[in-house]
Amino acid sequence: MAKNDLLGGSLWDQYSNKVTTLMNNPQHQGEITQEQCDAAGHKLIVADFGAESCGDAVRLYWEVDPASDTIVGSKFKSFGCGTAIASSDMMTQLCLGKTVQEAVKITNIDVEMALRDTPDVPAVPPQKMHCSVMAYDVIKKAAGLYLGVDESSFESEIIVCECARVSLGTLREVIKLNDLKTVEQITDYTKAGGFCKSCIKPGGHEAREWYLVDILATVRHEMDVEKMQNAADAGTSGDFETMTLVQKIKAIDAVIDDSVRQFLIMDGGNVEIIDVKDSPDYIDIYIRYLGACNGCASSSTGTLYAIESTLKEKLSSKIRVLPI
């Protein structure tokens, strides 16, 4: 595949090596015939799913051993971009060797994570993420055909975005995995909110139980609490004055996050810890003011006193806070 096929060569670096390899050399592309399955005494399942918004479509072939419900053969045909091909290939790979009941638990997140080179770096750029989220739907269709049940019976999660079929669990996981901070980022990564927009916030043409703005606020709050708790746990593993430098910085950050930072941010400012130095009489904490706090008259009086007194109360009376 030429670089021009990826919306310009500048996007290459945003694709994982696994994705670019499977774009050009998919391992499971093709079809399984009825003759093949009949010869082995297996059952052939063919399921289609298409995303009307972007034109991508995938056809999934399963060869299932009815004696054990095991998927012994799995292939696909994809009609779409390179990202759709790579994600379909990985989805097909994940199905192999699983029972139908196990395969239906494969999610779009499982496929995207499997395409990553490293766990903390997304496999594709945000604007192409929607091309890798067809797995769950087509697998449900295939499982429904095999088991003779309606595919909706596999739906165990709350669907927030009906247009893109994105669940509450997927949204929560994507926000956490990618540290998303805006609804626009959620749409880039999952396609949720990109169509009728009713799921973004109240006031759309269709009332929803869940809205992206509320989900984002809730998950971000949970992430902040978890971050503070982790820092506090690391910081309270012993007496503050005997902690390592890293433990001290984490403990200081946790206190500031919990008691100070929110008020600075409300006024357009912030603060960061630059260094911590010990002496027999003092523990000197060097800080830098950011935003509106930088140069503010209160930064050397009231604000400084509030930060220092809070840290003294919660950590050590030996603390001095020194702005630089």
Containing 222, the helix (H) or strand (E) segment is helix 212-235
Pairwise CA distance, residues 11 & 263, whole Å: 39
Q: Is 164:192 a contact under the CB 8 Å cutoff? A: yes
Pairwise CA distance, residues 63 & 191, whole Å: 31
Pairwise CA distance, residues 124 & 137, whole Å: 20
Sheet-wide strand order for 319-323: 269-278, 283-291, 319-323
Q: Catalytic: 37?
A: no
Q: Is 306 exposed, middle or buried (0-12, 13-18, 19+ CB in 10 A)?
A: middle
Q: Which of 131, 163, 199, 293 is catalytic?
A: 131
Q: Catalytic: 54?
A: yes
The two three-digit tokens of residue 157, written as one number: 């999660």
Please state the φ and ψ torsions of residue 27, each to the nearest 5 degrees. -90, -20
- Which residues does the annotation mark as catalytic? 54, 131
